[in-house]
């Protein structure tokens, strides 16, 4: 294969690389972190539920629910701990005003054999939930993003008011086919590769959260939001898989493994996969995609994403080697890559997928128990490649429930490119922005803001004296108890952004857009 031959000109074969003394230490270090997958255990299920009860007593509903989810994962089939965890989780939903989810969990608890001596308490919770609904108390809903326009025929993840435009450098970017107002959702892409690292948080397949997750009956590492996810071919291969307790290492390996599994599933034979990958990798890196309709077109888009430059990174190569060995231990995969030719292809295929995800995956990091940061999930989509960076953006890219969502934050005129800020640094100095962009992307920004263009003093004074500007600045931040104010604050941000849409970026506009983006993220990641 051409691709494998070209790869061998740059790198020695994996087998030779990993046998070298140079890489023994990082390989051994990574392999020493390997762990056995957790198994069903009622003892662990009980401990997790007690931890959830402690968090519940502290009114930490979301954290308590995560513990109840983990209790469900560990509880053995038919165990009383299943019904008790569902019942306890229903109380979290009630306090979070997710009344429909509360009622579903109550029924799940009963179906799982909830103890009769505790049934009165559960029935009372159901009655309280129904009363809240009857009183027209606001039942919060999971935010479900949708396009503000009709979808494009060939690229259904983006609105039909967008098109691809080729720049002087030959690269393509998204631009507006017509004027687009503030607050318009123009991209809703289901990420192609998704990998959950904290299994009590979301659906293991689609990453949907804050819903009635049910555990896998065979392993203690997966939960599902629907029967469709439960029977997914992905989990057929992945059931019980876990490489390490180290979430970052585990995530890198499982993410690459899922990318390989998606490729295997998209083709009838491994030879077809090899031919497809070789043709894709060797084609023009700046080619415009034909479509994003079927799995093969999405896979091609994934493979064409920019690559991380990790050829000389010993740790990266060591992780790739451990990933390769890990994938060959997945039931059903080892038999597919049986010949030397197929395994040689797999060696290089693993490194390519890892370079793609390393460069392009988005991550969610959350504070756990208000103490430590934890990596929750990673996901990689295709459309972000065409959203170019600017320190004076007119759009923002967010992620929720396995989706990548692009919303306009300033008016976009016909012919203008859609520009996002790669990092949360709208209020930072030019020196800070440039340093962060170079350290993370080896990129020097030359946007209008970085070139020194800004609003006039008169325009800045006009914005600063606007009563709506003051309301926005002094009403932020908001908390979960201020949920009713969220739509009003978002609307006010949009009105100010629209009012000064023709003004060049300045600190005053930056403060409004920064708050607006945080409010949008608050809505997309929460229950509003």
Q: For residue 380, is it left (φ>0), alpha (ψ between -120 and 50) or beta?
A: beta
Query: Does a structural domain hold residue 454?
Result: yes
> Could you tell me which residues are beta bridge partners of residue 366?
374
Question: Would you state the structure tokens that stand for residue 72, as one six-digit string?
Answer: 């469900």
Query: How many whole angstroms separate alpha carbon 74 and alpha carbon 216?
Result: 9
DSSP single-letter state for residue 197: S
CATH number at residue 88: 1.25.40.10
Last residue of a domain, one of 311, 338, 365: 365
| 401 shares its domain with 489 | yes
Residue 515 placed within a domain: yes
Q: Looking at residue 447, which CATH number applies to its domain?
A: 2.170.270.10
Prior bond of 41 cis (ω within 30°): no
Q: Which two tokens stand for residue 174?
A: 């998204």
Q: How many distinct helices (H) and strands (E) make up the chain?
A: 21, 12
Domain count along the chain: 3
Same domain, 437 and 520: yes
63 and 128 together in one domain: yes
pLDDT confidence of residue 375:
80
Cβ neighbours, 10 Å, residue 124: 10
Structure tokens at 259: 């990318």
Q: Are residues 428 and 440 in the same domain?
A: yes
On whether residue 144 sits in a domain, the answer given is no
- 256 and 107 in a single domain? The answer is no
Domain shared by 272 and 392, yes or no: no
* 298 to 186, 193, 295, 381: CA distances (angstroms): 19, 10, 5, 9
214 and 353 part of one domain: yes
Question: Quick one: DSSP state of residue 41?
Answer: -
φ, ψ of residue 268 in degrees (nearest 5) = -70, -40
Residue 282: its pLDDT value, please? 92
Q: Which residues, including other chains, have CB under 8 Å from residue 482's CB and lie 6 or more apart? A: none
Question: Is residue 152, in this structure, part of any structural domain at all?
Answer: no
* Distance of alpha carbon 340 from alpha carbon 141, whole angstroms: 52
Residue 178 phi, psi (nearest 5)? -155, 170
Q: Which helix (H) or strand (E) covers residue 252, if one does?
A: helix 247-266
Whether residue 371 lies inside any domain: the answer is no
Asked if residues 18 and 321 have their Cβ atoms less than 8 Å apart, the reply is yes
Contact 57, 28 (CB under 8 A): no
Ranges of the chain with pLDDT below 70: 1-25, 136-142, 311-312, 368-371, 479-482, 526-528
**How would you list the strands of the sheet with 403-408, edge to edge?**
185-190, 403-408, 395-400
Of 425, 451, 404, residue with least CA distance to 186: 404
Do residue 203 and residue 329 come from a single domain? yes
Residues 203 and 170 reside in one and the same domain: no
Domain with 128 in it: 42-134
Dist CA 486 CA 493 (whole Å): 11
Q: Is residue 407 part of a domain?
A: yes
57 exposed, middle or buried (CB, 10 Å; 0-12, 13-18, 19+)?
Answer: exposed
The string of pLDDT tens digits covering residues 341-357 is 999 999 999 999 999 99
Question: Residue 19 contacts by C-beta under 8 Å, 6 or more apart in sequence?
Answer: none
- Examine the fold and report which residue of 308, 334, 365 is the final residue of a domain before the chain moves on: 365
Q: Are 334 and 404 part of one and the same domain?
A: no
Secondary structure of 342-382 as H, E, C letters: HHHHHHHHHHHHHHHHHHHCEEEEEEECCCEEEEEEEEECC
The tokens 């390996």 sit on which residue? 253
Q: How far apart are CA 62 and CA 47, in angstroms?
A: 17
- Closest-CA residue to 129 (of 102, 92, 89): 102
Query: How far is CA 223 from each of CA 358, 378, 505, rounded to the nearest angstrom?
Result: 26, 17, 45
Do both 122 and 76 map to the same domain?
yes
Of 300, 331, 365, the residue at which a domain comes to its end is 365
Token pair listed for 504:
């060049």
CB 172 within 8 A of CB 164: yes
Per the CB < 8 A criterion, the answer to whether 456 and 500 are in contact is no
Residues 55 and 25 in one domain: no
Judge whether 370 lies within some domain.
no
Residue 148 lies in a domain: no
C-alpha 411/C-alpha 394 separation (Å) is: 7
Q: Are strands 193-196 and 372-380 parallel, antiparallel or unpaired?
A: antiparallel
């Amino acid at each position: 294969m051409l691709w494998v031959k070209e790869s061998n000109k740059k790198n020695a074969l994996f087998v030779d690389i990993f046998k070298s003394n140079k890489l023994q230490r990082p390989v051994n270090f990574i392999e020493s972190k390997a762990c056995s997958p957790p198994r069903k255990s009622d003892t662990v299920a009980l401990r997790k539920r007690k931890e959830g009860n402690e968090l519940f007593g502290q009114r930490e509903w979301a954290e308590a629910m995560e513990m109840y989810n983990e209790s469900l994962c560990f509880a053995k089939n038919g165990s009383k701990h299943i019904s008790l965890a569902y019942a306890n989780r229903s109380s979290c939903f009630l306090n979070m005003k997710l009344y429909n989810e509360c009622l579903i969990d109550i029924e799940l608890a009963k179906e799982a054999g909830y103890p009769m001596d505790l049934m009165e308490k559960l029935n009372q919770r159901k009655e309280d939930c129904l009363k809240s609904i009857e009183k027209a108390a606001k039942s919060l809903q999971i935010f479900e993003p949708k396009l503000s326009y009709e979808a494009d025929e060939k690229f259904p993840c983006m609105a039909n008011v967008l098109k691809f435009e080729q720049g002087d450098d030959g690269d393509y970017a998204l631009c507006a086919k017509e004027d687009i107002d503030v607050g318009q959702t123009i991209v809703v892409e289901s990420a192609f590769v998704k990998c959950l690292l904290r299994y009590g948080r979301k659906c293991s397949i689609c990453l949907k959260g804050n819903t009635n997750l049910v555990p896998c009956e065979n392993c203690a590492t997966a939960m599902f939001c629907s029967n469709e996810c439960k029977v997914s071919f992905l989990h057929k291969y992945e059931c019980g898989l876990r490489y390490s307790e180290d979430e970052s290492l585990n995530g890198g390996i499982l993410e690459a493994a899922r990318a390989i599994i998606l490729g295997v599933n998209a083709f009838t034979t491994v030879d077809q996969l090899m031919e497809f990958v070789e043709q894709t990798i060797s084609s023009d890196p700046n080619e415009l995609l034909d479509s994003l309709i079927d799995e093969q077109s999405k896979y091609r888009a994934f493979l064409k994403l920019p690559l991380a430059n990790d050829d000389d990174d010993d740790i990266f190569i060591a992780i790739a080697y451990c990933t390769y060995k890990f994938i060959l231990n997945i039931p059903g995969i080892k038999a597919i890559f049986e010949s030397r030719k197929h395994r040689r292809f797999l060696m290089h295929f693993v490194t390519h997928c890892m370079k793609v995800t390393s460069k392009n995956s988005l991550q969610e990091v959350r504070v756990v128990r208000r103490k430590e940061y934890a990596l929750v999930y990673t996901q990689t989509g295709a459309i972000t490649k065409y959203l170019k960076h600017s320190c004076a953006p007119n759009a923002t890219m967010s992620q929720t429930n396995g989706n990548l969502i692009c919303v306009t934050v300033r008016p976009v005129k016909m012919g203008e490119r859609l520009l996002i800020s790669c990092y949360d640094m709208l209020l930072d100095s030019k020196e800070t922005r440039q340093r962060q962009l170079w350290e993370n992307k080896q990129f020097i920004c030359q946007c209008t803001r970085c070139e020194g263009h800004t609003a006039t003093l008169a325009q800045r004074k006009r914005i600063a004296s606007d009563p709506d500007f003051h309301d926005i600045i002094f009403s932020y931040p908001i908390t979960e108890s201020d949920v009713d104010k969220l739509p009003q604050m978002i609307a006010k941000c949009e009105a100010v952004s629209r009012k000064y849409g023709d003004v060049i970026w300045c600190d005053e506009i930056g403060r409004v857009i920064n708050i607006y983006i945080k409010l949008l993220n608050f809505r997309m990641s929460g229950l509003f």
